[in-house]
Amino acid sequence: MVGIFMNGCCGHMGRAIVDMVKHSEDYRIVAGGDIVVPEEPIGFPVYANVNDCEEDFDVIIDFSNAKAVPGIIEFAKKKNKPLVLCTTGLDDDTVRMSVEASKQIPIFRSANMSLGMNVLFELVRKATRVLYPDYEIEIVEAHHNRKLDAPSGTAYMIADIINEEANNELDYVYERHSEMKARDHKELGISSIRGGNIVGEHDVYFIGDEEVLKVSHSAQRREVFGRGALTAAKFLVNKPAGCYSMQDVITDILK
């Protein structure tokens, strides 16, 4: 059984994972971290300061916020434990910090934990190879009204995949109201929608003069991300230090 320290355990994704493992024979949450410590017991100790944790565990799953990530990286290094880093909206310094920490501990980092979304990444890669530069490309993402970062980390991942296949010649454009001009062919538009309780939707448009191809992914429930995080946690236990991604998990599954 994999013992988990769940950082961000009182957030929406943290609670989803807590509910998923309540009756699991494969996973157990040993302790958690959150800036909001619940008044009612939730089955394990929760620490406002993760460094106060004395329980032993096998792996850390982080679904917190970007500001908390440097602290959880240091905590993982201190405990010498693997870290599944699911939080999005990380700045360049934090990403570099995670890469540096991966020399000491195994770190799994992904802006999207869904298996289906990772299949979409490959479909978009292949579509770009075939259709660019004859087709213009736009990304539209939608999330709930509580999401802080925009565009989403997943939208950036999609954009980077497209741009890599386009020889990095595309310019990311996030809004067009400030300039009255026609769309440049080498723009890659990225639009964000926030509202209600949308779990996560991503549409990629390949727009030609005679046809439009749309590649889409819609997450129906948060559990899809939780299941991916748990799969990654199990994968990461006993792995050597290094950087890992969902593609490594998929490769492991297909062995």
Confidence label for 5 from pLDDT (cuts 50, 70 and 90): very high
Is the confidence at residue 177, as pLDDT, over 90? no
Confidence label for 12 from pLDDT (cuts 50, 70 and 90): confident
112 in Cβ contact with 63 (< 8 Å): no
Are 105 and 35 part of one and the same domain?
yes
Are 91 and 129 part of one and the same domain?
no
67 part of the active site: no
Are 30 and 84 part of one and the same domain?
yes
How many Cβ atoms sit within 10 Å of the Cβ of residue 230? 23
Report the distance separating Cα 247 and Cα 253, nearest Å. Answer: 10
The active-site residue, picked from 147, 181, 185, 202, is 147
Report the distance separating Cα 21 and Cα 197, nearest Å. Answer: 23
40-54, 70-84, 166-180, 219-233, range with greatest mean pLDDT: 70-84
Is the confidence at residue 37, as pLDDT, over 90? no
* Residue numbers of the domain that contains 131: 115-219
Are 80 and 203 part of one and the same domain?
no
Are 89 and 175 part of one and the same domain?
no
Is the confidence at residue 243, as pLDDT, over 90? yes
Confidence label for 119 from pLDDT (cuts 50, 70 and 90): confident
Confidence label for 171 from pLDDT (cuts 50, 70 and 90): very high
pLDDT of residue 41: 80
Are 19 and 72 part of one and the same domain?
yes
Are 46 and 61 part of one and the same domain?
yes
Question: Over pLDDT 90: what percentage of the chain?
Answer: 82
Report the number of distinct structural domains present in the chain: 2
Are 37 and 75 part of one and the same domain?
yes
Query: Could you tell me the CATH number of the domain that includes residue 199?
Result: 3.30.360.10
The active-site residue, picked from 143, 202, 217, 239, is 143
Confidence label for 130 from pLDDT (cuts 50, 70 and 90): very high
pLDDT of residue 97: 98
172 in Cβ contact with 137 (< 8 Å): no
Is the confidence at residue 40, as pLDDT, over 90? no
Query: Could you tell me the CATH number of the domain that includes residue 19?
Result: 3.40.50.720
22 part of the active site: no
